[in-house]
Amino acid sequence: MYARPGSKLEQSEDIQLEELYSKLKRYCRFLSQNDWDSEDLAHEAFRKALEHYELNVNITPALLKKIAHNLWLDQLKKRSREVLGAIPESIIEQHECSKDIKEYLAKLTSKQSVIFTLKESFKYQISEIAEIFQMSETAVKAILHRAKKRLKTISSDENLPLLQEYAINDYG
């Protein structure tokens, strides 16, 4: 239904939107426990709802809460990958190995090297990598497979057990 600008119908739609957004902001504040994140979360959830659903028919407070909840879980997952503070000694010990690994990664194509690093070092999901490179998940899996196969060949030629172990593991 189309509302003329300034009509009572348009005003009631505006009030309805404001009420939905207000409720969503309160819920996002409850989820995130801070104002900055709650504002961003509410805005993003509302944007997604408007992008994918019809305003008067399908957008309900429950739908908005579900979208916000899923967005919040995604943010928490991404934040869990971030490391803050002092560098643990185990990472410092791995630095010696990282020089060798860098040399072997240099023997891969640049795309193989980046995708392999995102998947194995930074623990990105296949779907996230596919989105970054704007390619299918199958293509990402194929590139990962070729990279691991190449690393396995290189490590067996040069007799490096650490790299052999790492390249043999297939995390999909």
What does pLDDT average to in each consecutive run of 10 residues of the chain (172 residues)? Answer: 52 78 91 89 90 77 91 86 62 60 80 87 88 91 90 73 50 44
Clarify whether residues 116 and 73 are in a common domain: no
Angle between helix axes 110-120 and 126-133 (nearest 10 degrees) is: 140
How many domains does the chain fold into?
A: 2
Of 39, 64, 40, 36, which Cα lies nearest the Cα of 50?
Answer: 64
Is 127 among the domain residues? yes
Clarify whether residues 100 and 150 are in a common domain: yes
Residue 18 is encoded by which pair of tokens? 């404001």
Write out the residue range of the structural domain in which residue 41 sits. 8-80
pLDDT of residue 141: 94
- For the chain, what is the total number of helices (H) and then of strands (E)? 9, 0
Clarify whether residues 162 and 93 are in a common domain: yes
pLDDT of residue 37: 87
Is 97 among the domain residues? yes
CB atoms within 10 A of CB 64: 22
CATH number at residue 106: 1.10.10.10
pLDDT of residue 167: 46
pLDDT of residue 120: 83
Last residue of a domain, one of 80, 105, 121: 80
Of 49, 79, 71, which Cα lies nearest the Cα of 61?
Answer: 49
Is 124 among the domain residues? yes
- Say whether 80 sits in a helix, a strand or coil: helix
